[in-house]
Amino acid sequence: MLEKHLRSEKSALHRHLSRLKSAVENDRIQPNGKHATSFVFICGANRRAGGASARRLAVERFIKKTSPDSKAIIAERFFEFLENSKKKQNLYDIEHALSGFADLIVIILESNSAFTELGAFATRELREKLFIINDRQFELQQSFINLGPLSAVKEVDNRAVSWYDMAADGIENGDAIGGTFPDLIQAIRKRSPKTEVLDKSKLTPIGGLNRWAFAFCHDIIFYSRSINAKDLVAVYTFLFGKADFDSLATYKALLVALGLATKSGDKVASTQASPILKSPVDHVPLQAAFYAANYRSERRS
């Protein structure tokens, strides 16, 4: 629907997006505010009826309340959304991709699957991102878990393994996991990302997941008010040239999973009151140009 407006140099959408394109090409899109958004990936068990364990939800609530610059990621929510996309992936592949995207990976050792995740993520490259929560009754055991992956994680940061008394029904009903939160908030602050100059390559959704391309994807959706997959690709083609933008499906899925966007039919819309990144382009007339182009296209269809 938007391609005709993007081709016409007379259209307001073409004019305003050309300004945004110039900002991208001249490295004028930058992190917004003092602190860049930090992404925290939460692993653990699920309840019997489905959905994240009570402990994981407690961690998520704590992060939202005490660390506004952080976003909690629960992989299952992302996976459920991605299931309907054309590019099928298994949960392990999704979690592995997200682990490279996250600043901190919290693993609550409350199930067999969580121990599997610990094994998958305790590599030399990823262990500096780990924060492990375990049952205090196992703290002094000379077990493989304690002497192997947990010891390796503690070599990086001694406070990256936190212990408390887990309740037997904690997966379903929760428990005193809040006792680990002082260590958790320290880990989040310690691993918060540093701001950086954003060149064009960092905003392009090609290759592995990266936070800046993700943030820019949100902002394009924010500017558009509401946009379908075909039009989103058309906008990206206008800004970056022809390329394989299949990764946009993954970014949209993650935006929805984090509550930064909603999906209705074939369209995605932002839930935020402002863009994530700072741009020299005034977003109000850009939004108006998107609205006018969509209105004219819908009248003709």
Q: What is the pLDDT of residues 219-246, one digit of tens each?
A: 999 999 999 999 999 999 999 999 999 8
What's residue 111's pLDDT? Answer: 94
Give ∠ CA 154-158-163 in degrees, rounded to 5.
90
Answer whether residue 301 shows pLDDT above 70: no
Q: Which one-letter DSSP state was computed for residue 103?
A: S
Q: Give the pLDDT mean for 252-266.
A: 90
What's residue 281's pLDDT? Answer: 93
What proportions of the chain, in percent to the nearest 5, are helix, strand and coil? 55, 15, 35
Answer whether residue 39 shows pLDDT above 60: yes
What's residue 124's pLDDT? Answer: 82
Q: Which one-letter DSSP state was computed for residue 46?
A: B
What's residue 81's pLDDT? Answer: 62
Element (H, E) at 222: helix 211-224
Q: Which residue, 133, 167, 190, sits at the end of a domain?
A: 190
Q: Which residue, 190, 218, 244, sits at the end of a domain?
A: 190
166 & 200 share domain: no
19, two tokens: 């300004």
* DSSP three-state, residue 22: helix
Q: What is the pLDDT of residues 120-133, one digit of tens each?
A: 888 887 889 999 99
Q: What is the pLDDT of residues 57-116, one digit of tens each?
A: 999 999 999 998 888 888 777 666 666 555 556 666 666 666 667 899 999 999 998 998
What's residue 1's pLDDT? Answer: 81
205 & 265 share domain: yes
Beta pairing class for 267-270 and 227-228: antiparallel
Residue 112 backbone zone (phi > 0: left; psi -120 to 50: alpha; other: beta): alpha
Residue 225 burial (10 A CB sphere; 0-12, 13-18, 19+): middle
Answer whether residue 259 shows pLDDT above 90: no
81 & 155 share domain: yes
Q: Give the pLDDT mean for 137-159.
A: 94
What total of structural domains would you count in the chain?
Answer: 2
236 & 260 share domain: yes
Q: Which residue, 160, 190, 220, sits at the end of a domain?
A: 190
* Furthest CA-CA distance within the chain: 72
Q: Which one-letter DSSP state was computed for residue 160?
A: G
Instruction: Enter the pTM of the model.
Output: 0.81
Percent of the chain with pLDDT over 90: 63
Q: Give the pLDDT mean for 182-211.
A: 88
96 & 182 share domain: yes
Q: What is the mean pLDDT of the chain?
A: 89
Which residues have a Cβ under 8 Å from the Cβ of 241 and sit 6 or more positions away?
Answer: none
Answer whether residue 194 shows pLDDT above 90: no
Residue 293 burial (10 A CB sphere; 0-12, 13-18, 19+): buried
74 & 26 share domain: no
46 & 175 share domain: yes
72: β partners:
40
End-to-end CA distance of the chain: 9
Question: Which residue range(s) make up the domain with 16?
Answer: 3-32+196-300
118 & 58 share domain: yes
What's residue 88's pLDDT? Answer: 56
134: β partners:
163
- CATH code of residue 203: 1.10.10.10
Q: Give the pLDDT mean for 13-30.
A: 95
- CATH code of residue 115: 3.40.50
218 & 262 share domain: yes
Beta-strand ranges (E) seen in the chain are 30-31, 38-43, 70-74, 104-108, 130-135, 161-164, 227-228, 261-264, 267-270, 277-278
271: β partners:
none
61 CB neighbour count, 10 Å cutoff: 11
43 & 185 share domain: yes
Q: How many CA atoms lie within 13 A of 20 on its CB side?
A: 28
224 & 143 share domain: no
What's residue 47's pLDDT? Answer: 95
63 & 123 share domain: yes
Q: Give the pLDDT mean for 20-27.
A: 96
